[in-house]
Structure 1
């Protein structure tokens, strides 16, 4: 069971990216949000309140889909990137004259209170976190007992073709390593979640030119590996990269197109009622005590 943050993520670079990432969702993020929202049809209990974590990068179209599925549910918008907050407020806040104000509760902005929501929705954020276990623990605290987490992220096979090109040229890693879905499941259990369900799929995107491919990658994220190139590269290096991509990423099924694989991991887990660990001296929070009393887990049978 891993207990430390992924060793291939530079936390300073991760914080810098989080503070400066484009204030818009890439196409892939919106597509993954659409596919993740479709999985909500298997959830029987609709939440009375849900939290959308970092909606601007995660996808505002995805937000609209979830809101339409749960029109009566209160929504807490947790936009943790300061430069993205104005975009979230502009897109999601409801002016006083809007008819939408009368169809359901208006979104609230800010981090959720502990045990305040029944669903937390986090699309395509976890793979860029320098300390993912701390983030998962934060999500766990926000959820009420029997609430559930819905998340997605990139998996290890993402951009495997690009990684192969870098390795063949003897260059540093093309990107930081992404966590396997089984390891995510272990982290969820370690954080206190129960019944984690993980699945994955691979999506192949094609691009007409190396320039367009690299533009898409820049919109999706950046290389957070501590061993990445330590300085700027010149025009000659860029031309060599473009030539290598055109040669090695050519899609035989679609002449003239360059293919790149993205592994998408989907995760779902519940927050169970807390269990009090017995010892000579035991302590439990007031919130956990209320949850145990409500569920009966803290009552004596003898």
Structure 2
């Protein structure tokens, strides 16, 4: 089923961004992943297999920490963009004579079979998707009944200082409008997840120069807004932007000469429940649905 794209994300811009090879995971993404990993201590279920969605951009260091956290679990890595899959192949194709080929749990590049994992991990990917509901459907399909999803993304207060600067200058938006965490929670329920828990925090980063600030933004992504400036900007515009970054009161830091940017970070987790069978005068139940219901029934039986 096709779902409409978010109105402030252009699919063509997402495709172009997907053709840019990721050199290294951004610092902010790794930090968010570290904070999200701390939440795993409250999850009782220890996955036997898990899926990392787009770790090349979401955090390769975080992926290694998850491998250490679940040393006996089979891991799956899915990279949505071909350029990232090409970079990942050497890491997942150890030669027959290398110990990694024979020691430890398996590591697979590609999606697991439906219902093949107990955890889906997605760090800082959802807000850049032009098909977020389809993305949630893919997460849901990968999970076993009773498995759980852990994800993070940017929220609507992200870059509020830069948005104020652009609005005052009369420029188009510097980026898409990010979705509120309550809307994400509603969408998770629509996608078939249960018990979604959402929370957020704000991280304020301080920069010593406009050049460092702009470099950080380029590492985090691109402007995917459909009404972004369509042509190349000139040197005069860049000089004007740097001057405004240094002088606009919204970006003023606590120390003279420094510039602050706010990033709203949304965290969410949810479980995949047993499917509900809709009953009518005459109901058709698939074999897979029946197997799932029977498995859940056995788990809920009292001990003899």
Q: Same fold (TM over 0.5)?
A: yes
- Structure 1 residues 174 and 132: alpha-carbon distance in aligned structure 2, compared to 1, 3 A threshold: same
Counterpart CA distance in 2 for 1:59 and 1:43 is 21
Q: TM-score, normalised by structure 2?
A: 0.92
Shift of 1:95: 4.6
Counterpart CA distance in 2 for 1:284 and 1:223 is 46
Aligned to 1:86: 86
Aligned to 2:135: 135
Counterpart CA distance in 2 for 1:280 and 1:295 is 24
**SS at 1:223 equivalent:** coil
- Structure 1 residues 281 and 16: alpha-carbon distance in aligned structure 2, compared to 1, 3 A threshold: farther
Counterpart CA distance in 2 for 1:209 and 1:166 is 18
Shift of 1:166: 0.3
1:282 maps to 2:292: no
Aligned to 2:196: 196
Counterpart CA distance in 2 for 1:91 and 1:295 is 37
Gaps of 5+ in 1: 298-302
Shift of 1:73: 0.4
How do 1:1-302 and structure 2 match up within 5 A?
4-91=4-91, 93-100=93-100, 104-248=104-248, 250-296=251-297
Mapped contact 1:181–1:265 kept (Cα < 8 A): yes
Q: Which moved more, 1:5-14 or 1:45-54?
A: 5-14
Shift of 1:252: 3.7
Counterpart CA distance in 2 for 1:39 and 1:21 is 30
1:29-86: CA deviations, max 9, x gaps? 1111111111110011100000011111111100011111110000111112111123
Mapped contact 2:92–2:108 kept (Cα < 8 A): no
Shift of 1:270: 0.1
Number of equivalent positions: 295
Counterpart CA distance in 2 for 1:109 and 1:9 is 28
Mapped contact 1:94–1:106 kept (Cα < 8 A): no
Q: TM-score, normalised by structure 1?
A: 0.92
- Structure 1 residues 100 and 39: alpha-carbon distance in aligned structure 2, compared to 1, 3 A threshold: farther
Counterpart CA distance in 2 for 1:136 and 1:21 is 24
Counterpart CA distance in 1 for 2:228 and 2:283 is 47
Counterpart CA distance in 1 for 2:93 and 2:58 is 17
Q: Which moved more, 1:40-49 or 1:22-31?
A: 22-31
Counterpart CA distance in 1 for 2:93 and 2:76 is 11
1:166-192: CA deviations, max 9, x gaps? 000111111110000000000000000
Counterpart CA distance in 2 for 1:84 and 1:290 is 37
Counterpart CA distance in 1 for 2:68 and 2:44 is 16
Counterpart CA distance in 2 for 1:250 and 1:187 is 33
Counterpart CA distance in 1 for 2:93 and 2:64 is 12
Mapped contact 1:93–1:107 kept (Cα < 8 A): no
1:131-154: CA deviations, max 9, x gaps? 100110111001000000000000
Shift of 1:92: 5.1
